[in-house]
Structure 1
Amino acid sequence: MRIVQNISAALAAYGLIQRGGLVFGDGDVAPDGPAGRPARSVLLVGQAGAAPWPHFQRWREAQPASPDNPLDSWSREVIGAVALVFGARAVSPSDKPYLPFQQWAMRAEGLRPSPLGILMHPEYGLWHAYRGALLFEVELQFGEVRKQSHLCDLCVGKPCLKSCPVSAYSETGFAYEQCLGHVRGPSGGACRTQGCRDRNACPYGTAYRYPDDVQAFHMKSYAGL
């Protein structure tokens, strides 16, 4: 448990937090750890709210040229630096072949998906993210995963399915092309500058809601603008 606490302190320097972890079982296909052997443990790294944003912005301003995916690049750099200190292998949600980050997260934190696909957190609502993970070839000790109330089950009105101007999200799935066309089009200005209306309509975790400039950054990246 001590190493997990030390990692948490190292991540805090970047506005990041550790998001729980798990020990791989016999039925898991574990990715390689730092020395090329199958990992025994994974510790997830992420954020709550927009805490990493000032750290990311300072890093971005110091770059001689902006990379194609600056937030991914920053995340890889800072989580990789922490991995070196603690003898881990850093991996990213955008690595290919893709690793099962969402399944790891559900096991590590006891979360379930919202109707938007984002995992619903009992404190952060939809305003959180996973930026990477640390793989270890030893078994780390994690606290017991507490059973969490799934807030979506308690939400009667489901405003997250009623606020999009083109009804991109529904109980049958996500109309990706419809959403993308709207965000890129002349009537999508509010979505581009203030974020997804369905996500913003969720009544939970509002204290962690990303500021408009952060949401605009993510929407621009999503729309390829």
Structure 2
Amino acid sequence: MFGAWHPESDPDVPAGTQTMILLGPREPGFWTAFRASPEAQEARADPLDRWSRRVIGQWACDLGAKALFPFGGPPWRPFIRWARESGRAHVSPVGLLVHDTAGLMISYRGALALKQRLALPPPPPAPCAECSSQPCRIACPVSALSPEAYDVPLCKSFLDTPAGLDCHGRGCAVRRACPVSRSYGRAEAQSAFHMQSFHKRGQRGPE
């Protein structure tokens, strides 16, 4: 579970929802489990999205909840706003969301809208407040990320160069620079998968 909150009057949340739960990969180990799934073995597009629909959809059926996803739009679900409302994701010094346990490797695969009001613990403090070095600020080789904007064309152009092979094959250098990201244990192959998907067709939402 990557966050939860009690929605009060959110038009993007299904009527009657008392608790929203955000779901993301548990590391280390998620990528190995996913690669063994039927979706990963099939020669079809969007294997991770199809896996998410199957697994989270089944959880929703078992719990009598509604499954919601950051893909499949338009319209697009406001996962970035929801992440911040959960209190466990914050705007980092480079503008990307940063999570208290996943760091800049945060990736939401779906959400569950529950009709029950669950007791929730208070969210932990934002990790960047205690990060004195903030290496994410200088990690991008072409300075495509800043608090003001993300220069997507510049980022994609860099990925087409020999110097961009490191980011293309291992994942975004900025995400990897975050101390919380480094302790999270996400496989480089998973980061490369997301980066290559972004490079080919663009990315909706927080990865």
Structure 2 gaps of 5+ residues are 202-207
Tell me how far apart the structure 2 counterparts of residues 157 and 163 of structure 1 sit (CA, whole Å).
Answer: 12
In the TM superposition, 1:46-61 aligns within 5 A as 46-59=24-37, 60-61=39-40
* Structure exhibiting the larger radius of gyration computed from Cα positions: 1
Partner of 1:20: 3
Q: Kindly provide the amino acid, as one letter, of the partner of residue 201 in structure 1.
A: A
**Aligned residues between the structures:** 199
The normalised TM-score by structure 2 is 0.84
Q: Does 1:82 align with 2:59?
A: yes
Q: Note the aligned Cα RMSD (angstroms).
A: 2.2
Separation in 1, partners of 2:50, 2:76: 17
Residue in structure 2 matched with residue 172 of structure 1 by the alignment? 148
Identify the structure with the greater strand proportion: 1
Match of 1:72 in 2: 49
Give the Cα separation in 2 of the matches to 1:62 and 1:165. Answer: 34
Q: Distance in 1 between matches of 2:31 and 2:181?
A: 18
Equivalent residue of 1:224, what SS?
A: helix
- TM-score w.r.t. the length of structure 1 is 0.78
Give the share of equivalent positions with the same residue, in percent. Answer: 32
Find 2:19's aligned residue among 41, 55, 61. 41
Q: Deviations over 1:73-105 (max 9, x none)?
A: 111111001111111111101143122222222
The equivalent residue for 1:193 is 169
Asked whether 1:120 is paired with 2:98, we answer yes
SS in 2 for 1:42: strand
Cα distance between partner residues in 2 of 1:31 and 1:49: 28
Q: Deviations over 1:21-54 (max 9, x none)?
A: 22221x322433xxxx543332221124353212
Q: In the alignment, residue 121 of structure 1 is paired with which amino acid?
A: H
User: 2-side partners of 1:214 and 1:103: how far apart?
Assistant: 24
The 1:95/1:22 distance shift into structure 2, 3 A limit, reads farther
1:29 lines up with 2:11 in the alignment: yes
Describe the shift of the 1:122–1:20 C-alpha distance in structure 2 as closer, same or farther (beyond 3 A). closer
* Pairing 1:142–2:119 present: yes
